[in-house]
Amino acid sequence: MHAYVNIAVNAARVAGNLLCRALNDLEQVQMSSKNLNDYVTSADKAAEKAICKIIHEYYPDHKILAEESGFSGNQESEVEWIIDPLDGTTNFIHGIPHFAISIAVRVKNRVEHAVIYDPVREELFTASRGEGARLNNVRIRIGKQKTLEGSLLATGFPFKDHSKLDLWQQTFGALFLSCSDVRRAGSAALDLAYLAAGRLDGFWEFGLQPWDIAAGALLVSEAGGIVEDLHGKPDYLNSGNIIAANPKIFKAMLQKLNPILKK
């Protein structure tokens, strides 16, 4: 396991312990609103602080992009850590035990390493470019579903930007009528990790941030899947719009979505 992955795993486990303790005593967790339907808690901040402290203990000159605190470290560094200390905050503040810590490492502007940790289930997803994806150190592969019919997809609602609601509803209608069912579980990081592990067959969403998807996207690609933006281009970290699946489902999803997106 690469040294960066070891550090990320250590940081994710420390953050996970903090979050699980907070989950068991939610009355003591302070919450505030950043924007419409966009919340942050004292647990998010404590987890992020712990992660950043561990990274900077080992790599003080590396750059960090974290959801709550933004950029820190040496902005000229070729190594950037992309951190979501609590992906699934809305689940967390309602006591729903479905959330994760997501940490990606981007080297020379390319994501090379990924860790997603679900502390409730103690599921640790890891990947390094060219070395495959793993769940609790066991190799995982994307599912073998060949057609949209019978497939299980996942998505997320545009709850922070209602201007995208009409477009999202159109995409949902096109895909829902073609697949077996659609899940909306509230954590893009875990949606992508589950896709990499073969638990889901496809995923799409609008308006995400790099910390939501950087680690999960590498997991999917290292597990044999395809990850692109909604126009079939590799710009999802900048656009925030993403589609991911195995090659056959990916092609089928794009065929359904293209007529809508080209309007």
pLDDT, tens digit, for every residue of 208-245? 999 999 999 999 999 999 999 988 889 999 999 999 99
Cβ neighbours of 221 (radius 10 Å): 19
Rounded Cα distance, 172 and 257, in Å? 9
Average confidence (pLDDT) over 162-169: 84
- State yes or no: pLDDT of 162 exceeds 80: no
With a CB cutoff of 8 Å and minimum separation 6, the contacts of 169 are: none
186 shares a domain with 252: yes
Q: Say yes or no: 158 and 246 in one domain.
A: yes
CATH of the domain at 215: 3.40.190.80
**CA dist list (Å): 138 to 76, 77, 126, 134, 226:** 36, 32, 10, 5, 21
pLDDT value at 169 more than 70: yes
**Length of the chain counted residue by residue:** 263
pLDDT of 161 above 80 = no
Whether residue 196 is contained in a domain is answered as: yes
Residue 190 forms part of a structural domain: yes
- Work out the burial of residue 26: count CB atoms within 10 Å of its CB; fewer than 13 is exposed, 13-18 middle, 19 or more buried: middle
Say whether both 128 and 156 belong to one domain.
Answer: no
Domain that holds residue 171: 152-261
Residue 145 within a domain: no
- Model pLDDT for residues 174-200, shown as the tens digit of each residue: 999 999 999 999 999 999 999 999 999
Whether 91 shows a pLDDT value over 70: the answer reads: yes
> What confidence tens digit (pLDDT) does each residue in 110-139 have?
999 999 999 999 999 999 999 999 999 999
Look at residue 146 and tell me if it is in a domain: no
Q: Which long-range contacts (CB under 8 A, 24 or more apart) does 33-36 make?
A: 35/160, 36/160, 36/162
Count of the separate structural domains present in the chain: 2
Q: Is residue 172 part of a domain?
A: yes
Is residue 27 domain-shared with residue 115, that is, in the same domain?
yes
Alpha-carbon distance 210 to 223, whole Å?
20
If asked whether residues 11 and 131 sit together in one domain, one would say yes
Give bridge partners of residue 245 from the DSSP assignment.
202, 226
Task: Band the pLDDT of 154: cuts 50, 70, 90.
Answer: very high
| pLDDT, averaged across the chain | 93
Do 113 and 162 lie in one domain? The reply is no
pLDDT in tens, 56-77: 999 999 999 998 888 888 888 9
Q: Among 81, 115, 140, identify where a domain stops.
A: 140
- How far from the centroid of its chain's Cα atoms is residue 4's Cα? 18
Last residue within a domain, chosen from 140, 165, 186 = 140
Instruction: State the Cα–Cα distance between residues 114 and 120, nearest whole angstrom.
Output: 19
User: Both 135 and 170 in a single domain?
Assistant: no
* 70-89 core/surface letters (b: 16 or more CB in 10 A; e: else): eeebeeeeebbbbbbbbbbb
* β-bridge mates for residue 71, sequence order: 65
The CATH number for 45's domain is: 3.30.540.10
Domain assignment of residue 50, yes or no: yes
Q: Choose one of 140, 164, 179: the last residue of a domain.
A: 140
| Residue at 176 is within a domain | yes
Instruction: Give the per-residue pLDDT at 188.
Output: 97
Same domain, 113 and 189: no
Distance CA 3, CA 216 (A): 19
Question: Is residue 79 located within the same domain as residue 181?
Answer: no
CA atoms within 13 A on the CB side of 85: 29
Residue 91 lies in a domain: yes
Radius of gyration, CA atoms only, the chain: 18
Residues 169 and 245 in one domain: yes
Asked if 53 and 86 sit in the same domain, the reply is: yes
Co-location of 94 and 204 in the same domain? no
- pTM here is 0.95
Longest dimension (CA), the chain: 51
Q: What pLDDT is stored for residue 66 in this prediction?
A: 93
What is the rounded distance in angstroms from the CA atom of residue 53 to the CA atom of residue 126? Answer: 21
